[in-house]
Structure 1
Amino acid sequence: MAQYLIVSDVDGTLAYDSTTISTRTSQVINQLLDAGHLFYLATGRMYALAAAMADQIGPRAEIISANGAAYEFSGQKTHHLLGAKALAAIEAAAAGNGLTAVYFTDMAVYYVTTPPPAIEQMLYSFAPKDVTIDVRQLPDITALQTHSDEITNGIIFSLSDPEALANTREQLAAQALLHLSASDPTNIELIPKHVDKANAILELQAKTGIPKDRTIAFGDGLNDLGMLKAAGISVAMGNAVPEVKAVAKYVTETNKEDGLAQFLLRFFDKEES
């Protein structure tokens, strides 16, 4: 059988909850890895947290982290960075609207403005107990920019002020210094310009020689739309937002029902018959 590139979002898709991939899903993925196919997790999470999820599948599961700004191929990592100019624009827009921007490297989390307690708690909610993340407040934008050679992406949360979030997004979009997305109505995903999960898939298709028509992508949120369009076989989860279901060729069961595993079993059983 020809080799397939299989790519899955993590939260709400591959994972049963924020820290767990089901045994059944892991077993199905490993069966396909045994058959010679490639599997990538594609997530907005920083690399360290993506790696904690990949470990539940095993060492052959590869990683696309930071919404496509970092990915693995043949033992090497490729990084795209937000850059010093974008960091300054983000910080000014967020702080000007009373919001906190949070920035990620592969292993660390930075912020300048102190976040509300609920958001600070969210920064730790995705980390397993055995994973240590360096979460650090920096004194100002100048200190933040000293890390511009390692910051891949960021996020702005607003749990109670959608107007402030909308204003921040509008201001950043007008400057065209970075790519904006969202995994939820309460956030803005901050990604390097011209980069998203789709960009990583296109680069991997070129490097692996696996074409679009043998690329399978799974997603549930708005930041998965580009990735689904880059795949010839696009699959929305049963719990996906309507916009994702509208662009996907297939809809499978929810993440709580092992929808990814169920689709892959049906698809490859048909391919082999």
Structure 2
Amino acid sequence: MAQPGKATVFFDIDGTLGWTDPNKRDALPEWERGLSPTPSPRVAAAIRSLVARGNHAFLCSGRSPVGIHPDLASLPFSGIIALAGAYVTMGDKVLRDRPLSADVLAHIDRVLAAGGYGALIESAHGAVELRGGALGRRSGTPDTMDEAIGQLPDGCAYKLVIRSSAADELVADPQLGSQLVASRLEMQNSEVGLACNTKKAGIKAVLSHLGDDVGVTYGFGDSENDLTLFSEVDVSVAMGNAIPEVKRLADYVTDSVSEDGVASGLEHLQLV
């Protein structure tokens, strides 16, 4: 039986807890350019208050754990659903670990290479760009999938960020498409991973591990890959800047990320 009065809340990162204008990333210090945005002081204070009241807070993102900004990671989250559900941790315990297989990666590479596409390949412990990255602009990057995977610390790939046109080709591939899922991101990019790896699957792993220590579940999100997050929680909250489909399916629409919508939503729900 769930603990009465307790809550477990799952937060998307980009566009929800914070946002970085892609056109301004190059102005950031080099070490910070590939990292997640950071929450405003009001949102950070709301997360601390939520947890101080005995609730659980989880990051639930398409990002790799190593792509989370230290200022965000320092907040009292109970765990991370990372790489769109492919890699889930609580403390030092790994609850879910589902990388792409070598055969699937090889097939993906054949499709991408035929179309002249590059990719950002993400693992739980790093990332590497293939053939110039998603935009095809980076010089000195590996030309083959095998070479790129060899540069990852764990030798595993969980998710790719590619041009949306390339993602469309992959999910339409008659041999490969049924194994993959693609979600639209900003700047005409999409993330592609195994169909079994979703935020819903990541949340299921967390809830199974928590057992009775769950309470009412809540989810905050703004984009396409948050639809599976919404399908697994009791109460779904869309950001004011969310895409129309996310807003339509949400139980509640809060303020936009620029207006500290996470803090406003937690206040409205009387969780802080």
Shorter-chain TM-score tier: 0.7 to 0.9
- Give, in whole Å, the separation in 1 of the partners of 2:175 and 2:242: 25
- Give, in whole Å, the separation in 2 of the partners of 1:118 and 1:94: 12
The unaligned stretches of length 5 or more in structure 2 are 21-35
Alignment correspondent of 2:189: 187
Does the Cα contact within 8 Å between 2:171 and 2:178 map onto a contact in 1?
no
Q: 1:110 aligns with which of 114, 121, 128?
A: 128
> Does 2:30 align with 1:6?
no
SS at match of 1:150: coil
The unaligned stretches of length 5 or more in structure 1 are 122-135
| Superposition map of 1:1-273 within 5 A | 2-17=5-20, 19-50=37-68, 52=70, 54-58=72-76, 60-77=77-94, 78-115=96-133, 120=138, 137-144=141-148, 146=150, 149-157=155-163, 162=165, 165-171=167-173, 174-184=176-186, 186-209=188-211, 214-268=216-270
SS at match of 1:81: coil
- Give, in whole Å, the separation in 2 of the partners of 1:165 and 1:178: 10
Shift of 1:170: 1.9
TM-score by length of 2: 0.81
SS at match of 1:99: coil
Shift of 1:185: 7.0
- In structure 2, relative to structure 1, the CA distance for the partners of 1:142 and 1:19 (3 Å cut) is closer
- Give, in whole Å, the separation in 1 of the partners of 2:207 and 2:249: 20
- In structure 2, relative to structure 1, the CA distance for the partners of 1:267 and 1:120 (3 Å cut) is farther
- Give, in whole Å, the separation in 1 of the partners of 2:146 and 2:258: 44
Shift of 1:189: 1.2
- Give, in whole Å, the separation in 1 of the partners of 2:78 and 2:170: 36
- In structure 2, relative to structure 1, the CA distance for the partners of 1:53 and 1:172 (3 Å cut) is farther
- In structure 2, relative to structure 1, the CA distance for the partners of 1:167 and 1:193 (3 Å cut) is closer
Higher helix share: 1
1:41 maps to a residue whose letter is: L
- In structure 2, relative to structure 1, the CA distance for the partners of 1:169 and 1:232 (3 Å cut) is same
- Give, in whole Å, the separation in 2 of the partners of 1:225 and 1:254: 17
- Give, in whole Å, the separation in 2 of the partners of 1:84 and 1:45: 21
- In structure 2, relative to structure 1, the CA distance for the partners of 1:247 and 1:53 (3 Å cut) is farther
- Give, in whole Å, the separation in 1 of the partners of 2:6 and 2:102: 40
Alignment correspondent of 1:130: none
